[in-house]
Structure 1
Amino acid sequence: MDVGQGRRRTALFAALAAASVALFVLLWTAAGGSSAPAPGGGSSAPDEAAAPGADSRVPAGREALVDNPLYDTGRLAPLPCPVPDPDVEDPASMERFLDTVADCLDQAWSTQFAQAGLPYDPPSRVFWTEPGSSPCRDYPSEAGAFYCRTSQSVYIGTEDVVRKWQGETNGAVYASLLAHEYAHHVQGESGLLEYYHERRGRESGRRAQNAWTRRSELQANCLAGAFLGSVAVSYPLEERDTAAVLEDAEATADRPDGAEEDRTHGSQANSRAWTERGLEGQSPGSCNTWTAEPALVQ
């Protein structure tokens, strides 16, 4: 091989390598790989909009939002879910508590998806005590908890959430937080997140994007409430527990004096109302925020 031919071949390999890197970056960006935490609220918007699988049973497009098969499945029907109160000062106790609640969430939503005729894989769980990294973001996270669609995992800091919630000892608040992040997985598995991210991404302004985010977050509030209401027989929420969950819904909502560009989780009144609606309705059909009047998702 002469020198000129060798140089041409080297240049060709370099061009192919550059093209491969560019294609990887393009596909990663399209999947939401560079998404950042949404501002405001107690938990962030769900990270990553991974494309749905080839399973034709999973709805796509607007149907996934407004006419999802999950909405017709009626009340959640979980098995008994006896949950011990956590010792919030002991990370191991918090992890046992969260694992127990997550087991109940796995069973409840697996059953619900089966009733809807939809495939379902429960999310993985990462309950951190040390810093780490997910495909979506590093942790500790300002929110204390988040859902990453790329890894299909729920992430919660067992010490961080206690600090963020100022040492709250009522386990129902942490169960509600876990159920909220888990609800983003439910949205993803039902085909909803894909279209939501697509439509949100088409909006050119921050306010218009936030309008979509609020509907997603308020639906997650409602789905969390639906789960907590459905397990009330074996994990009873006393009046003080329900009050704590609803007060937390208000506390993690958008601040009344916050900038419009940061309003991603809904008003205090709407955050509480959708959580309460889930607690009472105990069904996905109670939580269709996508067809709700604008005033109910502000």
Structure 2
Amino acid sequence: MPDEKPDAAAPGAGHFLSEGESTPLPTVNRAQPIALGKARALTDPGESALRRKARPLPVDPEAVSVYSGPPAAPLPGAPTTPLTGTRRTGGARRVGWNRPYSRAGAQYTQIGPPPPPPRQYSKAVIASLSALTLVVTASVGVACFKAISSYDSSVDSPLSRPSVHKSTAPVPIPPDPTVTVTVPYVPNLVRLQKNDIYKAGKLASANCKEPSIKPNSQSAILKYYQAMVPCLDDVWAPAVKKAKYTFRSPKVVLKSPKLPQSSCTGDLDTTYYCPADETIAIDWQDDLKRYKQAPLEARLWMMSTMAHEYGHHVQQMTEMLTASDSEEAGAKDAAKKLEWSRRTELQATCFGAAFLGANKVSFGYSGNRLKIWEFQTKHSGDEYNPKKERDHGSRASQWFWGGPAFKSASPASCNTFTASPKRVG
């Protein structure tokens, strides 16, 4: 700040002496009591120096003032802007052109309620807590002691305690896959002559009717045969299960030399049963030719053919077909081989006749239909074979086994393996 020129009079309050000036300090007499002088009026001419107008301070050209005067007065009735960020209780602090705070009492209240006094516990509660602490401590100590003791014993004898908790229920032990279960050997003759299928009793009727499909085309013939399978299954399944064998339903396909649909191949020129895949292969061309000549006779012939081939399937499920094939393969001469073949085929015819007899009412085997079936059975045999092979049995043998089985409707009438060679000629 630049030096100012001193006045001639003595310096007033707030002034400093210029450099070089000196004024002797008055001597203070400490023995003299300190007292105020007589009051003087403000209008005293001697105080003109005190009422002298103050000089303005020089302005620094580089200084920037942040004060630009009081804020503008708000409009009448306008809401006041509270002080943002305030944490004072009792509302925001008024600033600016608002009236002075007029709330009665202290402006700043206490922040938060006073802390609660410490909780006092009774002597009984303190004693209970102490006792509980002692009990818990003692229990933990006993458990640790037992754990240490058991650890020592387990280390001394690791196998004395099981490492896995055993279940209350016994755990099933799976069979060893490398172990081969040996089935008791049953001789072929025992399986053929004493099979339990003969003890199954009379076949129950399934009350099924002839399929309503007209076999006048290749696809219709296949559907006709396939429609008979559920009826045959319902009749034979209880008997096979009663004989303690597993029942399975066969497949039915059309025989085609160009495109075989079964595992059995060869120069077979008629309907056949293939035991390799349990399939019945149908010679549909022969059936179609018969149906064009005589529809009723063709349908009855197709029903007998299907019942006969399903009879081979019964032999397969009861393991008799395997046994008879084994005996036929082990025969010493051709005549014996043909005899085993005739026994097998005649039994299939007998099983088929038993099935038809069990359902003769629902199939309508009476009157003309029954006469047609009897005629076809009596005139079916090796005598009508173009190759003259005696592998299925003569027409006399066909009726000998088919006639009684139709009346009894029982597999017990079909034990061809105990009959004399004459009855299977």
TM-score, normalization: structure 1? 0.73
Q: Which moved more, 1:114-123 or 1:64-73?
A: 114-123
Residue 287 (structure 1) aligned with residue 414 (structure 2): yes
Q: How does 1:105-144 map to 2 (within 5 A)?
A: 105-128=232-255, 131-133=258-260, 134-137=262-265, 141-143=268-270
Contact 1:225 1:279 in 2 (8 A): yes
Query: Which of 277, 285, 295 is the matching residue for 1:169?
Result: 295
Contact 1:215 1:297 in 2 (8 A): yes
1-structure distance, mates of 2:294, 2:258: 22
Residue 72 (structure 1) aligned with residue 199 (structure 2): yes
Superposed CA offset, 1:96-124 (max 9, x none):
32222111111111121122222111111
Pair 1:217–1:55, CA change in 2 (3 A): farther
5+ long unaligned stretches in structure 2: 1-180
Superposed CA offset, 1:147-186 (max 9, x none):
0011111111333333367744222210110110111111
AA partner of residue 274 (structure 1): W
Tell me the CA shift for residue 136 of structure 1: 0.9
Pair 1:179–1:209, CA change in 2 (3 A): same
Give the SS at the match of 2:382: coil
AA partner of residue 302 (structure 2): Y
Tell me the CA shift for residue 137 of structure 1: 1.1
Pair 1:94–1:200, CA change in 2 (3 A): same
2-structure distance, mates of 1:83, 1:229: 14
Pair 1:275–1:57, CA change in 2 (3 A): farther
1-structure distance, mates of 2:251, 2:413: 26
Contact 2:222 2:253 in 1 (8 A): no
Q: How does 1:176-255 map to 2 (within 5 A)?
A: 176-255=304-383
Query: Which of 272, 278, 281 is the matching residue for 1:146?
Result: 272
2-structure distance, mates of 1:257, 1:81: 32
2-structure distance, mates of 1:137, 1:165: 26
Give the SS at the match of 1:234: helix
2-structure distance, mates of 1:224, 1:180: 5
1-structure distance, mates of 2:403, 2:209: 22
Which residue of structure 2 lines up, in the alignment, with residue 265 of structure 1?
392
2-structure distance, mates of 1:250, 1:99: 26
Q: Which moved more, 1:72-81 or 1:244-253?
A: 244-253
Tell me the CA shift for residue 187 of structure 1: 0.5
AA partner of residue 149 (structure 1): P
Q: What is the Cα-based RMSD across aligned positions, in Å?
A: 2.7
Give the SS at the match of 1:233: helix
Tell me the CA shift for residue 193 of structure 1: 1.0
Contact 2:311 2:351 in 1 (8 A): yes
Pair 1:84–1:257, CA change in 2 (3 A): closer
AA partner of residue 242 (structure 1): L
More helix by share: 1
Which residue of structure 2 lines up, in the alignment, with residue 155 of structure 1?
281
Pair 1:58–1:109, CA change in 2 (3 A): farther
Give the SS at the match of 1:280: helix
Superposed CA offset, 1:194-232 (max 9, x none):
111111111132111001111111111110000011112
2-structure distance, mates of 1:65, 1:175: 26
1-structure distance, mates of 2:241, 2:394: 34
Which residue of structure 2 lines up, in the alignment, with residue 31 of structure 1?
none
Contact 2:250 2:278 in 1 (8 A): yes
